[in-house]
Structure 1
Amino acid sequence: MSSFCLWNEFELKKPPLVTIQVEETGFAKHVFVEINRYLQQLSTPDAQEFNQTAALIGRLMARRKSSFRTMPGFTSVCKLNEALCRLLRLDLPRELENFRSALPDVCDDELSGEMPTRSSFEYILVRLVSFYHLHERIRQCCLKAARYFGQMLSNNFFMEFLTVLLAAMAKINNISKLQTNNCAKLYNKLLKQRSNFPQVEKHKFLPENYEMPTQLTVIKFPQTPREAKETNPAAVTLNVQPCTVVTKLDRSKKKAKADVGTVIARQKPKFSTETAFQLDSLATVEDVKHFIVRESKARQQSPENCVTKAMQNHEWLSAKTIFERKLKAKEEAKALNIFRKFIGSKI
């Protein structure tokens, strides 16, 4: 049986948890302390958020199963959900609690006591390796799915759904790194105590020629400026410069020094709204009718030179519509007043 198949074997046959009398039990206190510290880490709010976010990913996957089933990124999400389910069914905390309960209550180098067999201890080590590699697979699926759905998000596809999915996978990925490091540290410390546990040939757990990993790699996080300064103070320097206020005069001087080419004088347009049009010219309803006909033609032929060039098409259409409706209702004074006020506020 290869090492891969052993840690990846879900229905792994558990050896019987029996205890044997040993002369020295002092090493057991180190095992107890490390397991107890790790169980406390698993009960932190981050671990609870990990389980809640994993459940959210499962619900999101089920909700959009028909929409994304042909997409490669959805396959990665399905594998991610499967790995999260296997991690839940592994139930590492329960295995550690059962093994911890079999350790002696009083541990001393000069006292004898009942200790679990080496097979039970090796079973715990294999479960830690399984936990470690499952988290590694979870992060790989997160990154693979994030690359695919991130490209879809940049193209404005499924904005709301993909935003929630990517945020959930990012949280899973970050918390997974923490749990992986905690698991690797526990395994590396417990592996040193392996030879101290009593071995029973009858309850042998590991296959022949099987070698446990000598060490699990701890993931290195990017250092913050504070951590970098603590490890190497000379590597971090703060370059603080006084903040200078740049005024408009300074910007104009810099712009004058720059080579901007030859300055060409610009002439004002022939038709100026301030000189060519006066609001008092709309004194009667007939004046407004002539203005509407003339301005409608000007907006079609030369929009940049018309009087109402600052008005949008829908605003001009609304002004004409209201004016015509008031005329049909025989409210000529109100139609003239409304149109004059509307045009005066826009030009």
Structure 2
Amino acid sequence: MASSGNPCFWNEFELKKPPLVTLQVENTGFAKHVYVDINRFLLQQCGEKETKEFDETAALIGRLMARRKNSFRNVPGFRTVCKLNAALCRLLRLDLARDLEQFRGTLPDVCDGDSDGVLPTRSSFQFILVRLLSFYHLHERIRECCISAATYFTQLLRNNFFMDFVTLLLAAIAKINKLSTLQASHSADLYNRLWPQVPNFPQVEKHRFLMDNQDLPAKLSSPVSTKEVTSPTPAPVLMKPKEVVTRVERAKSDVGTVIARKEPSNTLRSAKPKFNAAEVLATVEDAQRFIARETKARNQNPPPESCLTMRISKHEWLAAQTLFQRKLGKDPAKALSIFRKFIISKIK
């Protein structure tokens, strides 16, 4: 039975299922709508193609995480991928399709025209709603992790870090985010259809599933409409044609008072010479001396003004050194080129 006083009882792993009891009732006409809604969800959710794509993509993310566990152990984005993998593993333990099929089997035959029949108790129906809540919120967690991880690894990709691995990881994250959004939309739609039917199921005080201080939400918000997710082409956007400017007229409006700014003197300009990567990082030996000099300066507290890499975060600086040393044994020229591009992008 659900624990008392816990508003997130749906998040419990060992949520005890109430006993499956059926009672004779006079009106079962509404049950056909419940049967049809559950059947539609199972056809949408358990499609062979969609399920296979989701499982394969989730397995790919798990393998990528295990393969690069030592390389990205201290990277914030990788910790988010670990949380994403944990949410995907937890989703595998939640066999929603099995619970829905068992509950659907207890409903009266939809082809039976009689109004009376047997129905499962309200507790069994509420257990199905709680399972839908778990499914919905797990997908919400998955999408949050996808957005957070993609934001970080996109920045690495812009700096030419681990391009092959990051490209594959971003593609897997984007695909799992799309499939998760679609599944969450289906579960929210089913929940919103089933929740109004709760009073129609018979209640047994002995087998109550929810306590007095536990309430189920009346409605779940769909992350995006199903049509928007499955639409292959975006809606056409009508663009207003721009007017062709044939001459430039002087503006007559008041633009305020123009304040002249003094240019810095030549002495000030020459005081801080511009960083020239072609000279400072001309050879591999120059790059190694640059790394040693900057690392020594960064370890001082506070770093001196001559430290050129003060704005580079600690994990980015360590990742740049690791990539440089790894590429150095295979292709020194490529290692120097990648390191030089990184330094240029950070020092402006």
Equivalent residue number for residue 305 of structure 1? none
Q: Give the distance between the partners of 1:57 and 1:121, measured in 2 at CA.
A: 35
Read off the aligned partner of 1:6 and give its amino acid letter. F
Structure 2 counterpart of 1:86: 90
Residue 133 of structure 1: CA displacement? Answer: 0.5
Q: Following TM superposition, by how much is the alpha carbon of 1:5 offset from its aligned partner in structure 2, in angstroms?
A: 2.5
- 1:2, distance to aligned residue in structure 2 (A): 4.6
CA contact (8 A) 1:24 1:109 kept: no
Over aligned residues, Cα RMSD in angstroms?
A: 2.6
Alpha-carbon displacement from aligned partner over 1:99-152 (angstroms, at most 9, x marks no partner): 111111246675211111000000000010110000000000011111111111
Matched residue, 1:145: 149
**CA distance in structure 2 between the partners assigned to 1:107 and 1:14 by the alignment:** 29
Find the aligned partners of 1:225 and 1:99 in 2 and give their Cα distance. Answer: 35
Query: What is residue 10 of structure 2 aligned with on the other side?
Result: 7
Say whether the 8 Å CA contact 1:103–1:114 is kept in structure 2: yes
Task: State which drifts further: 190-199 or 219-228.
Answer: 219-228
CA gap of 1:109–1:195, structure 2 versus 1, over 3 A, is farther
Asked whether 1:219 is paired with 2:239, we answer no
1:52-71 paired onto structure 2 within 5 Å: 52-71=56-75
The corresponding residue for 1:20 is 23
CA contact (8 A) 1:27 1:107 kept: no
SS at match of 1:100: helix
Q: Residue 70 of structure 2 aligns to a residue in which SS?
A: helix
2:282 counterpart residue number? none
Q: Report the CA distance shift for 1:226/1:140 in structure 2 as closer, same or farther (over 3 A).
A: closer
TM-score of the superposed pair, with normalisation by structure 1? 0.64
Offset at 1:7?
Answer: 1.2
Aligned to 2:178: 174
Match of 1:75 among 74, 79, 89: 79
TM-score (norm. length: structure 2): 0.64
The answer as to whether partners of 2:26 and 2:116 remain within 8 angstroms in 1 is yes
Q: Deviations over 1:81-105 (max 9, x none)?
A: 1101111100100110011111112
Aligned to 2:139: 135
Deviation at 1:48, TM superposition (A): 2.1
Contact 2:5 2:213 in 1 (8 A): no
1:314-340 residue CA offsets vs partner (Å, 9 max, x unmatched): xxxxxxxxxxxxxxxxxxxxxxxxxxx
Separation (CA, whole Å) in 2 of partners of 1:56 and 1:2? 39
Looking at structure 2, the residues matched to 10 and 180 of structure 1 have their Cα atoms a distance apart, in angstroms, of: 19
In structure 2, distance between residues paired with 1:21 and 1:164: 56
Secondary structure of the residue that 1:20 maps to in structure 2?
strand
Change (3 A) 1:208 1:41: same
Structure 2 residue 63 is matched with structure 1 residue 37? no
Aligned to 1:112: 116
Q: How big is each residue's C-alpha offset from its partner over 1:21-64, in whole Å with a ceiling of 9 and x where there is no partner? A: 11111111000000000000112222321111001111111111
SS in 2 for 1:206: coil
2:121 maps to a residue whose letter is T
User: Could you tell me how far 1:220 is from its partner in structure 2?
Assistant: 3.0
Query: In structure 2, what residue type is equivalent to 1:63?
Result: R
Of Structure 1 and Structure 2, which has the larger fraction of its residues in helix? Answer: 1
How has the CA–CA distance of structure 1 residues 146 and 4 changed in structure 2, closer, same or farther, with 3 Å as cutoff? Answer: farther
Identity %: 63
Q: CA deviation at 1:225?
A: 11
